[in-house]
Amino acid sequence: MKSRHIVMPLVIALSANEGSSRGSQWESKNSAGIQAYRQRSYADAENFFTSAFHQAEQFGDRDPRFATSLNNLASLKQMQNRYAEAEPLYRHALGIWETMYGPENLDVARVVNNLATLLQDQARYSEAEPLFQRALAIREKMLGPEHLDVAPVLSGLGILWREEGKYSEAQTVFQRALSIRQKALGPENPDVAMTLNNLAAVYRSQGNYKDAELLYRRTLLIWEKALPRTHPNAATVLDNLAADQEKQGNYSEAEGLLLRA
């Protein structure tokens, strides 16, 4: 049974209100789209983001709101596995932000990281890795190596390297992401649990089932406290823990975990 990773939600872009009537309308549509996206109401999010995109077209294709709308539409389409539609939107947004701000900018890093996750979703690892590395370098330079926004890029690299069988490299970046998140958020935060789950998957891939079990159980405890019992993340870690128990020959416990999942 393959370990299931948990990934951070894609980075949705915000933009300052320009103060005009049209700008206010764009801001309203974009904000409504973000809210719907976070609630997983993807049909509503698409309607709002599409409306915001058409509003942004009136500002010109070198306006940051236009690039923001491109990124947000792409993120939505990626969540729906509409990869062929998402990729050109990300690349268009990237071109705009690079032209406006240069190659080392946090908006550039945002869309570069999102594009990397899109390529990773399609197992295009050799294309995704340099993009993750670029996003990481920008954020480390602009924010510092211990900033919380560095952790999602490290996790993206960790997932990629585990899929490629580079377990030592994956373990290193997951441990670094875990350290950053625990320091910034505390040990009981759901994002910390996400990293614990992903690090456990690396241990399991290395045959280190006992250490993997400890991390999976810690993940489950955090999510049981912080999230609804029916949250899909809880099902994922239960499934992973069941697979780990099966590897250790604990078939009865594995069955119970699978039934709960």
Q: Is 33 a domain residue? A: yes
On the question of pLDDT at 20 being above 80, the answer is no
87 close to 115: Cβ distance less than 8 angstroms = yes
Number of domains into which the chain is organized: 1
pLDDT in tens, 205-241: 999 999 999 999 999 999 989 888 778 888 888 889 8
Burial of 142 (C-beta count, 10 Å sphere; 0-12/13-18/19+): middle
Query: Which CATH number fits the domain that encloses residue 103?
Result: 1.25.40.10
CA distances from 14 to 25, 49, 71, 111, 191 (A): 14, 12, 10, 12, 21
Query: What pLDDT is stored for residue 19 in this prediction?
Result: 47
CB atoms within 10 A of CB 85: 14
175 close to 155: Cβ distance less than 8 angstroms = no
Q: Is 104 a domain residue? A: yes
Q: Is 9 a domain residue? A: no
pLDDT in tens, 150-159: 999 999 999 9
d(CA 100, CA 159): 31
Q: Is 5 a domain residue? A: no
73 close to 113: Cβ distance less than 8 angstroms = no
d(CA 162, CA 177): 15
pLDDT in tens, 55-112: 999 998 888 899 999 999 999 999 999 999 999 999 999 999 999 999 999 999 999 9
Q: Which residue is listed with tokens 């994922």?
A: 236
pTM of the model: 0.88
Q: Is 228 a domain residue? A: no
pLDDT in tens, 103-142: 999 999 999 999 999 999 999 999 999 999 999 999 999 9
Structural domain containing residue 76:
25-125
Burial of 139 (C-beta count, 10 Å sphere; 0-12/13-18/19+): buried
Q: Is 40 a domain residue? A: yes
Q: Is 12 a domain residue? A: no
The three-class DSSP label of residue 219 is helix
Query: What pLDDT is stored for residue 3 in this prediction?
Result: 55
